[in-house]
Amino acid sequence: MAAEFDLVVIGSGPGGYVAAIRASQLGQKVAIVERENLGGICLNWGCIPTKALLKSGEKFESLSHLKEYGLSASGASFDFDAIIQRSRGVAATMNKGIGFLMKKNKIEVIEGSATLEKGPNGASGAPKVVVALKAGGTRAIEAKTVMLAVGARARALPQIGLEADGDKIWAYRDALAPKKLPKTFVVIGSGAIGIEFASFYRALGAEVTVVEAVDRIMPVEDEEVSKAAQKSFEKRGIKFKVGAKVTKVTKSAKGVSVAVEIGGKAETLEAEVCISAVGITANTDGIGLEALGVELDRGHIKTDSHCQTNVKGLYAIGDCAGAPWLAHKASHEGIHAAEHIAGYKTPNVHSPIAGCTYAQPQVASVGVTEQAARAENREVKIGRFPFRVNGKAVAAGEVDGFVKVLFDAKTGALIGAHMIGHEVTEMIQGYVTAITMEATEEDIHGIVYPHPTMSEAMHEAALDAYGRMLHL
């Protein structure tokens, strides 16, 4: 029997649905299997709805700074339910959009949970996809190629009692749609997710303490950025416990107590709610990977530079295939894999992936940190520029933060950029473009940055790396 589809994508998050569209553009007959909502976590329970919440928080918090701008208003308040409803509405809108995109690209959406079985051609063909349909019954699908885009979920640490219950211990999903607003939080983990929720709930006036096991917050960021971020967040009233190992999370009638150990000293933090943001677990269980002999690497599916697994005809992209766990990385891999399946000869999937945290202030980075460069004994040239002397930032009253860049000393290649400040997540793309197109310092020095913009700080930082800074 001929295969029913050229490609079946399992999971419709930003990796899967984008891959499906690209494959369809390339003339493939494509189906996509989704067990919950089109758009996956990103659209429904991640990237997008958190941005909606954060915007509400930011707007509300800005009301307390009106005087600085010569404005006044009285009786500012918020409606927590309405904030949550707005966020859910945004997610619903985006979700509908994906349905439309699937239809437009003639991609068949199959609602249900997929498992993989050995295909009819055994080891020489792609696995068979068996879907337990939402509507009832099962459907077996044969396709020339299968792509896993099954994503990941919040990691639980049952050994210390850190398991989300939706009541006193929240994972991201609970934190996105709570029934009422707690007054005190302990957030465990200071990665992007932990920091964003801390930032949001603090904006609404909650007491928030963030616990981080490493000795600095946002450990994947450049150390200088970590330090600056902590300072800014502390100014907003967020408390931090760094170098703090969580030993036990205990629920009580009033809330939770989080036992931590800091430098050998035990301490207990009390709060109404604990938000767990301690990383993710790939959704690689219960889909039949073991029987097929799909190789895993610490829980993630092992893939080559074209996103192929060790099983013929089976690709894996996005969170389930390893770090960084970012939507845009998943999309990029999805596109690459779709093109590879269609016979494109693209060299490999690697491109620099920027990381963004949408707290106040925002943090954005791409490429290597100074610490990573030093660890590799790379000779680098480093430049910095603070927003406090950038005209646009001063005019906008957003002087917090700076830009830091790293160039390879020998070749002049831009190898890292780290930014903290207002809307830096919208600016990092300038550096991403530069790195992707293999710009050197000469190119960046030669770019004309529009005035007045905060992006001028990006130019100045690059100039500073070569002793040519103009405005400081």
Partner 1 sequence: MTDILMPALSPTMEEGVLAKWHVKVGDVVSAGDVIAEIETDKATMEVEAVDEGEVTDILVPEGTENVKVNTPIARLKDEGGAAAPKPAAKTEGAPKAEAAPAKAEVPKAAAPAAPKSENGERIFASPLARRIAAQNGVELKSIKGTGPHGRIVKRDVEGAPQTAGKGAAQPAAASTGSAAAATSGIEPRKAQSLAQMGIPDGSYDLIPLDGMRKAVARRMVDSIQNVPHFPLFIDVEIDQLMAVRAKVNKMLEPQGIKVSVNDFVIKAAALALKAVPEANASYTPEGIAMHHNADVSMAVAIDGGLITPIIRKAETKGLAQIATESKDLAKRARERKLKPEEFQGGTFSVSNLGMFGIKQFTSIINEPQGCIMSVGAGEQRAVVKDGQVVAATVMTVTLTCDHRVVDGATGARFLQAFKPLIEDPVAMLA
Active site residues: 451
Nearer to partner 1, 174 or 408 (CB): 408
Contact between 468 and partner 1 by CB under 8 A: the answer reads yes
The token pair at 160 is 């210390």
CB of 413 to partner 1, least distance (A): 5
- Beta bridge partner(s), residue 260: 246, 267
Q: Is 179 in the site for partner 1 (CB under 8 A)?
A: no
DSSP, residue by residue, 421-470: ETTHHHHHHHHHHHHHTT-BHHHHHHS---SS-TTHHHHHHHHHTTT--S
- The contact mask relative to partner 1 for 301-340 (x = CB under 8 A, - = no) is ----------------------------------------
- Nearest Cα residue to 14 out of 191, 150, 157: 150
Nearer to partner 1, 117 or 442 (CB): 442
- Point out which span in 40-48, 250-258, 312-320, 405-413 binds partner 1 (CB under 8 A): 405-413
Sign of CA dihedral 405, 363, 37, 317: positive
User: 27 or 467: whose CB is closer to partner 1?
Assistant: 467
CB-side neighbour CA atoms (13 Å) of 274: 27
**Encoded tokens for 124:** 């020489």
Considering beta carbons, is residue 307 or 439 the nearer one to partner 1? Answer: 439
Closer residue to partner 1 (CB): 128 or 332: 332
Output phi, psi for 85, to 5 deg: -60, -40
For residue 158, CA distances in Å to 175, 243, 286, 315 come to 19, 21, 20, 31
Q: Contact region for partner 1 (CB under 8 A) — 38-46, 142-150, 334-342, 462-470?
A: 462-470
Stated as kind and residue range, the H or E segment containing 46 is: none
Helix intervals (H) in 261-360: 289-292, 327-341
- The single residue among 411, 426, 471, 472 that binds partner 1, judged by CB under 8 A, is 411
Phi, psi (rounded to 5 degrees) for 134: -60, -40
> Residue 381 Cβ, how far from partner 1 at the closest point, in Å?
8
Report yes or no: 114 and 287 within 8 Å, Cβ to Cβ: yes
CB 334, min distance to partner 1, A: 19
Q: Which strand ranges, in their side-by-side order, compose the sheet holding 401-408?
A: 355-357, 362-367, 414-421, 401-408, 380-386
Residue closer to partner 1 (CB basis): 343 or 347? 347
Closest Cα partner for 269 from 235, 244, 291?
Answer: 244
| Binding segment toward partner 1, per CB under 8 A, in 51-59, 162-170, 304-312, 460-468 | 460-468
Cα–Cα separations (whole angstroms), residue 392 to 214, 292, 387, 413, 455? 35, 57, 9, 28, 9
Q: Considering the rule CB under 8 A, would residue 471 count as an interface residue with partner 1?
A: no
How far is residue 267 CA from its own chain's centroid?
Answer: 31
Q: Which stretch binds partner 1 (CB under 8 A): 46-54, 258-266, 358-366, 404-412?
A: 404-412
Residue closer to partner 1, measured from CB, 85 or 411: 411
Q: What minimum distance in Å lies between the beta carbon of 431 and partner 1?
A: 14
Q: On the CB side of 92, how many CA atoms lie within 13 Å of its CA?
A: 6
Q: Which amino acid appears at position 309 of this protein?
A: T
Establish if 413 lies at the interface with partner 1 (CB under 8 A): yes
The number of residues that bind partner 1 (CB under 8 A) is: 15
The footprint of partner 1 on residues 248-307 (CB under 8 A) is none
* Contact pattern for partner 1 over residues 417 through 456, marking x by CB under 8 A: --------------------xxxxxxx-------------
Examine residue 466 and tell whether it contacts partner 1 (CB under 8 A): yes
Q: Which is nearer to partner 1, 120 or 446 (CB)?
A: 446
Distances (CA, A) of 65 to 158, 361, 395: 42, 15, 14
Q: Which stretch binds partner 1 (CB under 8 A): 120-128, 131-139, 392-400, 408-416?
A: 408-416
Q: Which residues bind partner 1 (CB under 8 A)?
A: 347, 410-413, 437-443, 466-468
